[in-house]
Structure 1
Amino acid sequence: MQTYKLSLFVFIIIVLTFSFNTALYSQSSSNNFVIMIDPGHGGKDSGTPGTGRYRTTEKDIALDVSLALGKMIQEKIPTVKVVYTRSNDIYPTLNGRTILANKKDVDLFISIHCNAQPGRTGSAYGSETYVLGTTKNKQNLEVAKRENSVIALEDNTEVYKDFNPDSPESVLGLMIAQEAYLDHSIKLARYIEDEFQVTAKRKSRGVKQNIFYVLAYTYMPSVLVELGFLTHKKEEDFLNSKRGKELMTKSLFNAVEKYLQYLNVNANDIVFVEENSTKPPFKNIEFKVQIAASSKELETKPYNFNGLDDISLIKEGSLYRYFYGCSPNYEIIKQFEEKARKNGYESCFVVAFKDGKKIPLIDALKTISN
């Protein structure tokens, strides 16, 4: 009987998910790409106090890095709009943060935190970046428990009654509802952890999956970043230092910039083909417009894709990626992209292939411009 109920629940969720396939990779309807930065904790919720050797706590470091990251994005990529869940020492509820992100039509959500081990000190150190998912790892579960525990501090806990990380049905429903964004979340998370290693020279503990409320209910690509452990004395010293915050901010900015280039957002540094150019397209390079991704295989017929034909799909791991159009000419594929946006796929983007294998778009554009 339990198996039947679970199967019925999964079926209903899948039907609802595909009924709204135009919202896959939902992007802001405004002209700006919108990034929401969420400094963890705040106000009455200090987060982890670390070793207690500093007057600052997790909420202070998270706010400093968040504001510095937002400022850097606005200065260096002015076409991107930055909004915050908080810009001072106040406590927005977890539910309030997600409502704000969804209401602001945000394209990317980045929540910034610091990690801790039980007690005042510990040997664990290094950064971690989380995306929504399940985990059986005891340490990861402790992280989620700590970050979600602030729910108990809030006045109205009734709004969290449906959030139960221990319920398979609840978790499964959240995962299915969010799977359209998971691929992009993982992409950004990987960029972040790579940058922490390369730019900040920090130890990376990797990209991980976990059940965090702010990731479960923000309907856009979302990551939760743990900058390091405040219960590790040397790492606490680093994250409280001006240099440490600057390096972590720069790492986050580099990762965001790479992510935007991956999406072909604000690619000002790319040399595009001149309009009306007669230069022939480069051999063996093709462009397509990615309009959706899902763990379910759909028949590539117009009725499944808002009337668009010329749909192709590629399976990568457990995901099916759906593409509209195919051309060796970048100018032509941009026209396909424009039509896809008009047909409801506002977050679609151009991807490049060489000899049938996907390559970074920036590499393809540099190649055809030479």
Structure 2
Amino acid sequence: MKTYIHNIFVFLLFIFTVSLTSSDLTAQEKEKFIVVLDAGHGGGDPGNLGNGYREKDIALKVVLEVGKALEKNKDIKVIYTRKTDVFLELYERSAIANKADADLFVSVHCNSHNSQAYGTETFVMGFTNDRRNLEIAKKENEVIFMEDNYEKHYEGFDPNSPESLHSLSLIQEQYVDQSIVLARKIEDNFSKSVGRKSRGIKQASLWVIHNTYMPGILVELGFLTNNKEGPFLNSRKGQLKMASALEDAILDYKKELDNNVGSDIFIDDDEVIIEDEVANDSTEIAEPEKPMIYEGVTFKVQIAAGKSRLATRSYNFKGLKEVSREKDGNLYKYYYGETSDYNEIQRLKEEASEKGYSSCFVVAYKAGEKVSVSEVIKSTAN
């Protein structure tokens, strides 16, 4: 009898220990930074076939390399929308990310064109569906026509309708700032580390990222239709280089989030590069000669943002004084300076940049509401 009771006690102790361990593991899992990697196309959808290469294969190989590298980090959990050559319906991809309560969604693709265009592009969700971005959006969204019962899954969405594309942007709007930060890091890595031509950060209405409840981007690794870029992307060497650049960008992004506040966090929509525009703003005046006042408009320089509420003291902001703080959702945004003089705010922006805030940018307010800087400067200054 004693032996029986002893065995029961040992069994119950074992169950209790296992349950505690399981609970602890679950908590640890939730604390991990979850990255969902999405290899575009797959199965009966090959993507583009520029120069005879298959987009679906290249995207998958790059994604698997990125994931393998990220999985070495104990603080990161990687989830793949696909690890083999299978067809996934478009809505399933975002559903996987949402179900995992992911922190980041990265979709990888390859580009094509009827010319010898070349270079990388990274897309975030946005309203800027100009002519070429509209075509990109249509191309990536039209895969829904390959799905059964697509009318049911996409609630009347029409990839060829600008109105449908515009409506997609609403859900992702709150994550655009963070998405642009990652997009910039990726494009910088492609350019500086791999030596690719960066065509910049773009905004387009893409279904695959519109319904994800976390920052999300779509990366175009390059043009398979280009006679030099196609072979590079189809090569093992090229795929490893592109994967390494993506991995480094994701790790750098996570590091800035862990630090809560940083010089390159949360870039304004006005800073997104559309098409092949250069990053230099032709309206900037490096050495202003006279005031350029916009009555009723307040310009500020956004230098950082994050989840921590920092005292607006100069020692927290590399010696900059006149720093203000604003709560925006669950974030605190930090601004340097405040003026109606556009030339003066450009001087302050340059000053902040020299202090180390290289990705700072100008924002504008009118009657207490944030307005587009580009629209303000189109009006006549006093």
TM-score range, shorter chain: 0.5 to 0.7
State the partner residue of 1:104. 100
In structure 1, which of residues 81, 91, 94 is the aligned counterpart of residue 77 of structure 2?
81
**Offset of 1:201 from its aligned partner?**
0.4
**Offset of 1:249 from its aligned partner?**
0.6
What amino acid is the match of 1:226?
A: E
Question: How many matched pairs?
Answer: 271
**Offset of 1:175 from its aligned partner?**
2.8
- Flag the 1:317–1:179 CA change in 2: closer, same or farther, 3 A: farther
Equivalent residues in 2 for 1:33-182 (5 A)? 33-52=33-52, 54=53, 57-75=54-72, 77-118=73-114, 122-158=115-151, 159-164=153-158, 170-171=164-165, 173-182=167-176
**Offset of 1:321 from its aligned partner?**
6.5
What amino acid is the match of 2:76?
A: V
What secondary structure is seen at the aligned counterpart in 2 of 1:219? coil
Deviations 1:92-125 (A, max 9, x none): 100111111111111100000000014xxx3100
CA distance in 1, matches of 2:306, 2:163: 28
Deviations 1:271-320 (A, max 9, x none): xxxxxxxxxxxxxxxx89xxx9999xxxxxxxxxxxxxxxxxx9968999
Report if the CA contact (8 A) 1:294-1:321 is conserved: no
What amino acid is the match of 2:106?
A: I
State the partner residue of 1:309. none
What amino acid is the match of 1:87?
A: K
Report if the CA contact (8 A) 1:132-1:215 is conserved: yes
**Offset of 1:63 from its aligned partner?**
0.2
Deviations 1:303-353 (A, max 9, x none): xxxxxxxxxxx99689996866334799xxxxxxxxxxxxx95xx699899
What amino acid is the match of 1:109?
A: F
What secondary structure is seen at the aligned counterpart in 1 of 2:77? strand
State the partner residue of 1:338. none
Equivalent residues in 2 for 1:182-261 (5 A)? 182-261=176-255
**Offset of 1:177 from its aligned partner?**
2.6
CA distance in 2, matches of 1:237, 1:93: 29
CA distance in 2, matches of 1:48, 1:81: 30
Equivalent residues in 2 for 1:263-274 (5 A)? 263-264=257-258
CA distance in 1, matches of 2:189, 2:77: 22
**Offset of 1:143 from its aligned partner?**
1.5
CA distance in 2, matches of 1:249, 1:87: 15
What secondary structure is seen at the aligned counterpart in 2 of 1:64? helix
Report if the CA contact (8 A) 1:50-1:231 is conserved: yes
Report if the CA contact (8 A) 2:309-2:332 is conserved: no
**Offset of 1:254 from its aligned partner?**
1.3
Report if the CA contact (8 A) 2:302-2:333 is conserved: no
State the partner residue of 1:32. 32
What secondary structure is seen at the aligned counterpart in 1 of 2:258? coil
In structure 2, the gaps of 5 or more residues are: 1-27, 270-297, 317-328, 337-347, 358-382
What secondary structure is seen at the aligned counterpart in 1 of 2:50? coil
What secondary structure is seen at the aligned counterpart in 1 of 2:106? strand
Deviations 1:184-238 (A, max 9, x none): 0000000000000011100010000001101111111000000000011111110
Report if the CA contact (8 A) 2:111-2:223 is conserved: yes
What amino acid is the match of 2:113?
A: Q
CA distance in 2, matches of 1:166, 1:64: 30
Report if the CA contact (8 A) 2:138-2:160 is conserved: no
Deviations 1:16-58 (A, max 9, x none): xxxxxxxxxxxx9911110000000000000001112x4xx00
What secondary structure is seen at the aligned counterpart in 1 of 2:47? coil
Report if the CA contact (8 A) 2:42-2:87 is conserved: yes
CA distance in 2, matches of 1:190, 1:247: 17
TM-score, normalisation: structure 1: 0.64
**Offset of 1:141 from its aligned partner?**
1.8
TM-score, normalisation: structure 2: 0.62
CA distance in 1, matches of 2:40, 2:177: 23
**Offset of 1:170 from its aligned partner?**
4.8
- Flag the 1:322–1:66 CA change in 2: closer, same or farther, 3 A: closer
